[in-house]
Amino acid sequence: MIKKDILLFISDKKTVLVIAVLMMLGIAGIFLSNGETAPTRINVGVVDLEQSNRSEMVKTYFTRNEDFNSFINVTEGTEEEIEEIFGRGELDFYFVIPENFTDEMIRMKNTPLTAVVNSEDKAKAAIYGALLESYSEYITSVEVNVESLTFAMREAGYDSSLIRDTNNSISWDLVFTALGKDAFFNRVPYDRMESLSLTDHYIYSVLVLLVLYAGMLTGYAVLLERKSGVRARLVTCGISPARQIVSKVIVYGTLMTAVFLIVTYMMNIFGKLVFSFGAGLYLTFMIYGSCIGFSIIALLIRSRNGYCFFSNMAILLMTVLGGGIVPVMYLPNALSSFAKFMPAYRFVTFILQRS
Amino acid sequence: MGSFKLRLKLLLADRIAALCYALCAVVMISLLFNMNLHASETSRVPVGVACESASPAAERLNKRLLESDALRVTSGTMEELTQLLMDGYIGSIFVIGDDYEEKLRSGIREDIIKVITPSDDTSSIIVQDIVAGYMMYDVCFFRTFEEYSSLPDMSVTEEEFSEYVASVAENPMYDFDFDIRYIDVGSRDKNNAEITTAMIYRQIIAGLIGMLLLVLVVCGCNGFATENVQSIALRRRTIAGNLFNAYLLEMAAVLVYLTPAILLSALIMIGESGPGGAVLVFLMGEALCMFFIIVCFVLAAVIKSASAYQLVGTVICLLLGACGFINTFSSISGTPLFGWTPVAAYINAFVEVLV
């Protein structure tokens, strides 16, 4: 039986050719994904209509701050210049610091700071919008507290020059506290859990997806054999349907495992992703499990088209619920509770968790 | 019209396939509907907060974090949250230590909060910025009160000063907001509608809808592949008549067969797009499916193997879906890639309808 199934698999030259091409594409993809991409920089424009020492101080803080400079390019200019650069699509967003902005801020006259965001890309614009919203919290906190101090001092009858000096010194202190907010946090890496970049997450997810499709192909072979009457003829020769399916699973499972192990071995040698022996073993079990699962589905669904609809949708469903497309933490609670039972989720957590 | 009727009859006559198609379409579309329903909530960044302090400042921060529009906070003990971090349900844990208020009172601005992240994680830095925004109010309060209490003849207690600041904070005049304007540089469209992070989530859902439709097309066109294998297509060439028209009508029949699923998919975001937008989404879905039906028809004619057709068809679906997602994510982090691919174009058109 096993010999027959191996010959059958090899004789479908087109399928073998497609698998070989896919394997080569996978290996080529590993090489291509190895290229280092330059870190993304955000291009920000500043129009300073105030042109005061204070506004200059804030700008200098940003332009000389190493952390800030590592991911942001600041371009300064007149309103016309910045609008022209923005119009060419070279800026992600720009600020307009209005005349007397810092003076009015210290005097608690709320002159809004205009931020013009390039919304050509909606997703990018959404992130910048959310970031600016969070920064407005900082300014509100500083304003409210400084204002309260000024009011309280006025009510208590303090001298106006003392009020102004106190207001000035505390305003700058709090502004620089807000700018140095990174120091508030003590980051402690949890060494039993690795982080995963989005690209790596998708590489693992695609791998699991292909494992499921390998299972689907096995089921399809089982279905074709039944539809063509081969199964019935083999039964008359004394070969039970169970034996036929076990043989299919062994042949397809072993051949698919070999293909996957070659690709993951290549990943280990040439790629950035590291596959442990345990991960390889886990993948092998998943391939055999998927072959068994889809062979059972092929036994239950008698229509070829019905099998294709059902198994394709089952794979898509398992991938979505397992966080293969949207990471589990971003799924609604009702859906993420199913993740534990999904292969994509199990595989990714197996890779990430260190015992 | 004979070819049209014949193809439609062939598709509908396979009752098991029709049942599987209906069941799968309804299940997948319900899942996507659920994801869209919770888009605003689930697009927030998931974090864990372990509040180990019962001090008023710690409780205030905990409350603000729970009410945040940008974060999806899960409160719990360290053990519970560590397990959630390990399982991938949250991205980081913020620990408000029992000395939180004490540190703020004594003017300490460093290591106020412990952040536990997976090793090598960098993505939680942006979450820190959001959390810092909620901490700023208390940081500023304790600093201003310290300044106030150091003044000569100061007679106000901390409680009185706190009430005073709270009354000022209630005044909307001190609620600083950026004046954010969105301009689409490509079309010079000044659309000031707020663009939220839920938009990114909806782009992913749109991509999933696109992939779902492509997978349905591959299954719907299975008949073409089977007929090519059985040489029916070859025999048809011997019959007189316009084969081009006949094939066009057959492809239209497949489109009609898939129309209920396309219609349901257009209704997923009707709440956001409105009835007019839903009609546009429906038409976009029809166009995407028609394009892919032609691709599958050509594929079936070229490959002439049912298994290889399934494999190549689903791989093309995955590749096109991946290109759509890559376009969405690459545009967030830099230059958009694969914007010309069908699923990416479908996602972009979807977003234009939603904004």
Q: pLDDT tens digits, residue range B57-94?
A: 999 999 989 988 888 899 999 999 999 998 889 989 99
Q: Which two tokens stand for residue B353?
A: 């309808």
Query: What sign does the dihedral A129-A134-A139-A140 (CA atoms) show?
Result: positive
Write down the domain spans for chain B: 2-38+198-354, 46-175
pLDDT reading at B116 higher than 60 = yes
The predicted model gives B172-179 an average pLDDT of 72
pLDDT score of A6? 80
For residues A180 and A259, membership in a common domain is answered with no
- Tell me, yes or no, whether A76 and A157 share the same domain: yes
Shared domain check, A229 and A322:
yes
3-class state of residue B340 by DSSP? coil
Residue A79 lies in a domain: yes
Residue B195's nearest CA partner among A96, A93, A97 is: A93
Give the residue from chain A lying closest to B200, CA to CA.
A123
Quote the Cα angle for A29-A33-A34, to 5°. Answer: 120
Rounded Cα gap, residues A236 and B26, in angstroms: 41
The answer as to whether A24 is a domain residue is no
Q: For all residues of chain B together, what is the average pLDDT?
A: 85
DSSP B63-99: HHHHT-SSEEEEE--HHHHHHHHHTTS-S-EEEE-TT
Residue A69: give the domain boundaries: 43-184
Measured in angstroms, the CA of A270 and the nearest CA of chain B are apart by 21
Beta strands in chain B (DSSP E): 45-51, 71-75, 93-96, 113-119, 179-184, 189-190
**Shortest distance, CA A349 to any CA of chain B (angstroms):** 7
Has residue A37 been placed in a domain? no
B181 shares contact with chain A (CB less than 8 Å): yes
Record: contact B24-A209, CB cut-off 8 A: no
**Tens digit of each residue's pLDDT (9 = 90 or more) over B305-350:** 887 888 888 888 888 888 888 777 766 555 566 778 888 888 888 8
**A338 and A294 share one domain:** yes
For B46-175, CATH gives 3.40.190
- B190: tokens are 């000044």
Residue A73 touches partner B, C-beta closer than 8 Å: no
Separation CA A137–CA B129 (nearest Å) = 10
CA distances B254 to A222, A318, A332, B217, Å, are 26, 26, 34, 8
Is the distance from CB of A231 to CB of A330 less than 8 angstroms?
Answer: no
- For B149-176, what is the mean pLDDT? 80
pLDDT value of residue B55: 92
Domain CATH number, residue A177: 3.40.1710
Domain boundary pick from A131, A160, A184: A184
> Side chain identity at B254, as an amino acid letter?
V
pLDDT at A152: 85
| DSSP 3-state of A117 | strand
Q: A184, A210, A233 — which closes off a domain?
A: A184
Q: pLDDT-derived band of residue B213, with 50, 70 and 90 as boundaries?
A: very high
Q: Is A251 a domain residue?
A: yes
Contact B342, B292 (CB under 8 A): yes
Q: Are A264 and A280 in contact (CB under 8 A)?
A: yes
Cα–Cα distance, B95 to B115 (Å, whole number) = 6
Dihedral through CA A163, CA A168, CA A173, CA A179, nearest 10?
140
CA distance B355 to B346: 14
Query: Touching check for A185 and chain B: CB below 8 Å?
Result: yes
Terminal alpha carbon distance of chain A: 41
Whether A307 and A270 map to the same domain: the answer is yes
Amino acid at site A120: E
Find, in chain A, the residue whose alpha carbon is nearest to that of B104: A184
Please tell me which residue of chain A has the smallest CA distance to B91: A329
pLDDT at residue B82, rounded to an integer: 92
Same domain, A212 and A339: yes
Token couple for B318: 């995955």
Give the whole-angstrom CA distance, residue A48 versus residue A101.
10
Q: Do A110 and A173 sit in the same domain of this protein?
A: yes
Last residue of one domain, picked from the residues A125, A149, A184 = A184
Q: What is the pLDDT of residue B103?
A: 92
| Token pair for B294 | 């032609």
Q: Please judge whether B139 and A177 are an interchain contact, meaning their C-beta atoms are less than 8 angstroms apart.
A: yes
d(CA A298, CA A311): 9
Q: How far is B317 from chain A (nearest CA, A)?
A: 11
In whole angstroms, give the CA distance from residue A160 to residue A38: 53
Picking from B112, B185, B310, the nearest residue to A118 by CB comes out as: B185
Helix (H, G, I), strand (E, B) or coil at A95: strand
Shared-domain flag, residues A265 and A328: yes
Whether residues A203 and A179 share a domain: the answer is no
Please classify residue A274 by burial: count the beta carbons closer than 10 Å to its beta carbon, then call 0-12 exposed, 13-18 middle and 19+ buried: exposed
- Can you give the pLDDT at residue B48? 95
- Closest-CA residue of B relative to A197 is B121
Using CB atoms, which residue from A140, A331, A345 is nearest to B175?
Answer: A140
Shared-domain flag, residues A124 and A206: no
| Distance in angstroms between the alpha carbons of the first and the last residue of chain B | 40
More reliable by pLDDT, A130 or B140: B140
Q: What is the H or E stretch that residue A114 is in?
A: strand A114-118
Question: Does A23 contact B at CB distance below 8 Å?
Answer: no
Residue A62: its pLDDT value, please? 63
Do the domain assignments include residue A275?
yes
pLDDT < 50 regions, chain A:
355
Which among A121, A191, A218, A351 is the top mutation candidate for probing chain B, defined by the most B β-carbons within 10 Å of its own β-carbon? A121
B270-310 pLDDT, tens digit per residue, is 888 888 889 999 999 999 999 999 999 999 988 878 878 88
Closest listed residue to residue A214, CA positions, set B286, B307, B182, B163: B307
Q: Show the tokens assigned to B21.
A: 């198609």
B119 pLDDT band (50/70/90 cuts)? confident
* Residues A60, A145 within the same domain: yes
Q: How far apart are CA B11 and CA A312, in angstroms?
A: 17
User: Is the residue at A348 inside a domain?
Assistant: yes
Residue A52 CB burial class (10 angstroms; 0-12, 13-18, ≥19): middle
Q: Is residue A157 part of a domain?
A: yes
Helix (H) or strand (E) holding A192: strand A185-194
Q: Is residue A129 part of a domain?
A: yes
Which residue, among A65, A142, A55, has the nearest Cα to A103 in the 3D structure? A55
Using the Cβ of B268 and the Cβ atoms of chain A, whether some distance falls under 8 Å is answered with no
Residues A200 and A72 in one domain: no
Number of domains in chain A: 2
Which residues from chain B sit within 8 angstroms of residue A321, using beta carbons? 31
Residue of A338, A204, A320 whose CA lies nearest to B24:
A320
- Chain A residues close to B148, C-beta within 8 Å: 149, 152-153
Q: Which two tokens stand for residue B165?
A: 């600041």
